[in-house]
Amino acid sequence: MPDFLQHPDTSFPVGVEYYRAPVPRADVWEADFARIRAAGLRIVRSFSFWNWMEPAPGRYELDDFDRLFDLAEKHELFVWLDITLATHGACPEWLTRQYPDLRAVDHRDQPCTPHAGAAAPQGSMIHCYDHPAWRRWGGDLLRHVVERYKDRPNLLIWGLWDGVSPVNTGAGDMHCYCSHTLARYREWLRERFSLDDLNQRFLRRYRSWEDVDPPRSNHNIVEMLMYRRFHRDNLVDQLDWMVAEARSIDPFHEMRAHAASTPRPWDQVCASRVDSWGMSMSSNHTLTADDASALADRTFSFDLSRSLGSAGRWWNEEIYAGMSRGGVTWKKQSDPRELTALLWLSLAGGAAGVMFWQYRPEYLSFESPGYNLVALDGEPTPRLEAVTRAIAHIDGMADHLPLTCPRADVGIVYHPESQELFGLNDETARFNADLRGVYRTLWRQGVPVDVITDRVDWSRYRLLFLPNVALMTDEMRRRIETTLQQTTTRLVAEGNFGLYASDGQSSYGPPEGLGERLGVRVADFSAVTPRDIEGGRNTLCSPYGHFSVTTPCGYAVLEPSGDTHPIATLENETVAVRSVDGRFTWFGLTLSAGFGDVACVDMAMGLVREAGVEAPVGLDADGLVPVVRRSRQGGWLIFLLNLERSPVRTALCPGWESPRLHDLIEGREVTAKAEGSFEIEVGPWEVGVFYSEE
C-alpha cells in the first residue's frame, strides 16, 4: 500500500465530485471519466448516502460503487470515497422504523420528522449519534465499506465525515435533547463535577442529579455554554470512534473530515483527530461582486485550515464549480476565472490538493443546474476549459511543488469559545466579520498573516490581533500573561475583550483577570449610530490619523490607570489604551466594525509597521494582491492576483536581491531594471505566478 502522502502522479492533485448516488445515471460514466482524465483531473469523489447503500438490514447494495472503482481505474483516476453516516443524508428508513427513538429531539421535546434538503433530496439526517443503534448499524456499514475497498489500487482517501458537526434538530441552532443525549450529558457532568460544585458553577440549588436538565434557551448563557461544551466533547468522541474503526481495518489511507467556509467552535478539536482538514465554499461573486473581501474571506479559511490541520495538512475539498442553487430560475453563473483564482489561491495557501463540486449537475434537486463544471447534457463549459488550462500550468511547475508557507510575523487569533458566546446572542455573523476584518486589509496590502488559536506558540510572532476575545478562559488568560511576560510579541485586543468570565457570567472586573495587570478598566459602553454618522459625531482620533467611522458600531469606553495611557478617542471618550512599553494595546471597538467590516488601512498598517513588519514585495499599482511562498527549488514563488476588470501593470520590487524572475505561466524570463524592480502585467481577474531564485 502507498503511504497516503504519495499523490497520484502530481504533487498537487485536482479532482471533482462525480457520483452522489444515484446520479448521474450509469450510461454517461464512461464518456465522462474519459473527459475528466483528459482535463487533467486525477480524482473522482463519490458522496454516498446510508439509506442508498443499505436498503435492508445488513444488505449492502454497492454494485454501483464497485463499477465506480473499476471505471476510475480504467481511466487512471483515483477514488475519494465519502461515507456519510452523519450530518448529511438520512439513515435507512427501516432503522428509524425499528428504533423510533433514534430520531433526534429538539429543545421542545419534539422528535425530528423525515425531510429533505438540497444536498440530500432523498432524505436529510434526522437520527442522533447518541443512540446505540447508530454505532451498531453504522459501524457495520463503515467496516464493510472499508474492508471492501481498502485494497483497491486506486483508492486515495476515506472521507469519514463531511461537514462534521453536532446533531442539528432543525430548530435554529439547537442540538439534540433525546433521552440518550440527556443521559450522556448527565454522565459527562458527573465525571467533572460533584453536585455541590455544579450548583456553584450554575448558581443553582439542585438536590438531586435527576433534576439536572440541560438548558432549553440560549438566554441561559452559563448552562448553555456548558451544554455546547459537552456536545463538542461528544462530537470528538464520535469522530474518534469512526476513525478508529476505519483505521483498524485500513491503516494506510488518508482519513479526513471537513468544515464549512466559516469557522465553527468545534473545528479545532475535530481537525486534530483526522489526517487532514478542509472546507467547502462557493465560487460565485468572489470577483464579479464589487467587494474584494469575498476572496480574502476564502483565503482566511485556507490559512485557518492550514493552522488547524494535522501537521498543517488540508484540502480545499469543495470549490463549488458554479453559481448557487439554480432550479427553475437562474442566477449569475460563476466566471471561469473565479474558479481558477480559488484553485491558484488554494495552491498558494499550502493545500494538499483541490476538489471541485461537482462535475455534472445534481439532477435530483434544485442544486441543478448550479454547481457544475459541465452543462446539463455533459458538454464542456468555459469553466471546465479554464480549469483544464490552470491544471496544465500547475503541472508545468511541478519542480517547485510542494511549496512551503513560511511562518508569518503577524497573526489573527481565533477563539472558538468566544465565537460560541457570540452565537448564543445570534451574533455569529458579527464575530466572523470582526475576526476577518484586519485580515481582509492586510491581505490586500500583501502582508502575510497566520490565523491561529491559543493552542499554538505565540512567541514566534511579532504582532498578534485578538478580535473579540470575549470569554476569558483560563487558557487564554494564561497565554496572554505568558506572552507579555516572556516574549517580545505585541498584542492588539479588539472590541469585546474579557468582558465575560470563563463560566459565561459577565465579568465583575473586565478585562477578566487582567484588569490590574494591564492597567485598564471598562467604564461604560456606547455605540456610533446612523444619526451620529449623519451629524458628524463619528470622528476617531488615533496616533495613525483622524478617521470618520462610516458604519454603525458599538464600543467600550476605557479608563487607563498606572503606566497605561489613552491612545484613541471617539467624541472625547477614550476607546483605546496602550501599555507604556507598547506591548499591549486595546481598542474598545474592533478595527473594522466601524469601517464596513474592513479594517482602516492606516490604522492596521500603522500597527504592523510599529511591530517592524513590512510586506515581502512592493507594488506601485492598486488592484494586485501578492502572495509569497517558498519553492521546493529553494527560491521564492510570487503569486499575483489581479482583482480588477482590466489588465494591471506594476513595478514589482522583491524584498531580496534578484536579477530575474521566471514567469511560470508565460514560460519566459523577466529581467530586473536598474533599480531592481520588474515590470509585470497581469490580465483581468487572472493570477500571475513568478519564480525568483535566491
Q: What is the mean pLDDT of residues 6-33?
A: 91
Q: What does the pLDDT read at residue 172?
A: 78
Residues in contact with 27: Cβ distance below 8 Å, sequence separation at least 6, in sequence order: none
Indicate if the pLDDT at residue 76 is higher than 80: yes
Q: What does the pLDDT read at residue 1?
A: 33
The fold for domain 410-610 equals Rossmann fold (3.40.50)
Residues in contact with 24: Cβ distance below 8 Å, sequence separation at least 6, in sequence order: 18, 32, 360, 363
Indicate if the pLDDT at residue 4 is higher than 60: no
The whole-angstrom separation of Cα 677 and Cα 653 is: 5
Indicate if the pLDDT at residue 520 is higher than 50: yes
Q: What is the mean pLDDT of residues 204-211?
A: 96
Indicate if the pLDDT at residue 7 is higher than 70: no
How far is C-alpha 228 from the geometric centre of its chain's CA atoms? 20
Percent of the chain with pLDDT over 90: 93
Contact 473, 445 (CB under 8 A): no
Q: What does the pLDDT read at residue 6?
A: 54
Contact 71, 18 (CB under 8 A): no
The whole-angstrom separation of Cα 454 and Cα 482 is: 11
Indicate if the pLDDT at residue 375 is higher than 50: yes
And the C-alpha cell for 50? 446510508
The whole-angstrom separation of Cα 410 and Cα 606 is: 13
Pick the CATH number of 617-692 from 1.20.1250.20, 2.60.40.1180, 3.40.50.720, 3.90.1200.10: 2.60.40.1180
Instruction: Sheet containing 687-692: give its strands across.
Output: 624-630, 636-642, 687-692, 660-663, 668-671
Indicate if the pLDDT at residue 8 is higher than 80: no
And the C-alpha cell for 214? 440541560
Q: What does the pLDDT read at residue 5?
A: 42
What is the CA angle 192-194-196, rounded to 5? Answer: 135
Host H or E run for residue 15: strand 14-19
Question: What is the three-class DSSP state of 361?
Answer: coil
Q: What is the mean pLDDT of residues 244-266?
A: 96
Indicate if the pLDDT at residue 69 is higher than 60: yes
Indicate if the pLDDT at residue 621 is higher than 80: yes
The structure's pTM equals: 0.96
The whole-angstrom separation of Cα 661 and Cα 663 is: 6
Architecture of domain 14-400: Alpha-Beta Barrel (3.20)
Contact 47, 84 (CB under 8 A): yes
Residue 506 exposed, middle or buried by CB count within 10 Å (0-12, 13-18, 19+): exposed
Residues in contact with 557: Cβ distance below 8 Å, sequence separation at least 6, in sequence order: 522, 523, 524, 525, 526, 573, 574, 575, 588
Q: What is the mean pLDDT of residues 134-139?
A: 97
pLDDT band at 291 (very low <50, low <70, confident <90, very high): confident
Indicate if the pLDDT at residue 58 is higher than 60: yes
Q: What is the mean pLDDT of the chain?
A: 95
The whole-angstrom separation of Cα 100 and Cα 181 is: 15
CA terminus-to-terminus distance, the chain: 38
For 314-358, write each residue's pLDDT tens digit: 999 999 999 888 889 999 999 999 999 999 999 999 999 999 999
Instruction: Say if 14-400 and 410-610 have the same CATH topology.
Output: no
pLDDT band at 166 (very low <50, low <70, confident <90, very high): very high
Contact 243, 254 (CB under 8 A): no
Question: What is the three-class DSSP state of 150?
Answer: coil
Q: How many CB atoms lie within 10 A of CB 426?
A: 11
- CA 269, 437, 261, 614 dihedral sign is negative
Q: Where are the alpha helices (DSSP H) in 272-415?
A: 293-308, 336-348, 382-396
The whole-angstrom separation of Cα 278 and Cα 232 is: 18
Q: What does the pLDDT read at residue 447?
A: 98
Question: What is the three-class DSSP state of 161?
Answer: strand
Domain range list for the chain: 14-400, 410-610, 617-692
Percent of the chain with pLDDT over 70: 99
pLDDT band at 517 (very low <50, low <70, confident <90, very high): very high
pLDDT band at 59 (very low <50, low <70, confident <90, very high): very high
Q: How many CB atoms lie within 10 A of CB 651?
A: 15
Indicate if the pLDDT at residue 559 is higher than 50: yes
